[in-house]
Structure 1
Amino acid sequence: MPTPDLLDPRKEHTLVLIKPDGFRRGLTGEILRRIEQKGYVLKGLKIKKAPLALLEEHYEEHIERHYFPALAEYMMEGPLVAIVAEGDRVIEGLRIMAGATNPTLANPGTIRGDLGRDWGPDAVQNVVHTSDSPTSAIREISLWFPELAYDESGESAL
């Protein structure tokens, strides 16, 4: 379990989720290797099953969309890996490393381009989620790692 003193307040932090398809297919090590090889530091790591209430909070902007039930079902189909990564411009860097949301359109060399699958409109398995902004990262980390509880300045609230 991470502790707040492990987070460097001078660095940026982001949430990465290795989705159930990635965990089930044994891709966790490969994804972690890519994150660390890029120079980012793992500051939190846990394997868990995502309850619907957590997914509703995490994907709050999508909850009214037609695809949310399928997304929630996909995210609850098995364990996933939640990660807090730290580094300079880590949010932007991991978004680039992840690639386009649709694995078919993601460039080769990206996580989704190399490892994701697109099996129709209800079966896109894009392997990872990454925070899309500093504000989202803070909110998402507080949901998945409440023990870290830090504010928008990046300072620990604990």
Structure 2
Amino acid sequence: MKLLQADQGLLDKHYQQLRQKPFYPELLAYMTSGPLVAMVWEGYNVVKSTRAMVGDTNSATAAAGTIRGDFSMHVSRNVVHASDSVETAQREIGFWFQRNELVVWESGDRDYTYGP
């Protein structure tokens, strides 16, 4: 996890598939308007469980109790991003983190959480 100020070059790489969309300039303005927190999560079914916590991209349809459902007011200000697959996450992690910033460790409660 780290706090940073994203620049346009980083966001252009991260949101490559959105660069031609009409809302992209507003997205850039929003994403560069202040600092953000980038995180890498791991665990069993981490993409599926993270997306369940985050909620639907459209805050109007995001369930109460999800991050977007509770804290987002508009799809253009959806508060949080979550990768949609392990492959996408691996690509995006490379945009936001240097290899030496990632810590490899074994959780002490792994067997209790996931079983032997």
Alignment TM class, shorter chain as reference:
0.7 to 0.9
Match of 2:42 in 1: 86
Q: Percent identity?
A: 43
Q: CA deviation at 1:146?
A: 2.2
User: What does residue 145 of structure 1 align with?
Assistant: 97
Hey, what does 1:95 align to over in structure 2? 51
Cross-structure match for 1:18: none
Query: Would you say 1:109 and 2:65 are equivalent positions?
Result: yes
Q: How has the CA–CA distance of structure 1 residues 91 and 127 changed in structure 2, closer, same or farther, with 3 Å as cutoff? A: same
Structure 2: unaligned runs, 5 residues or longer: 103-116
> Hey, what does 1:27 align to over in structure 2?
none
Aligned length: 102
Aligned to 1:52: 8
Q: Report how far residue 62 of structure 1 moved.
A: 0.6
Question: Between Structure 1 and Structure 2, which shows a larger proportion of strand residues?
Answer: 1
Larger RCO: Structure 1 or Structure 2 (Cα < 8 Å, ≥ 6 residues apart)? 1
SS at match of 2:34: coil
1:124-158: CA deviations, max 9, x gaps? Answer: 321100001111100000110122599xxxxxxxx
TM-score by length of 2: 0.82
8 Å CA contact 1:142, 1:148 repeated in 2: no
- Return the letter of the residue paired with 2:2: K
Letter in 1 for 2:87: T
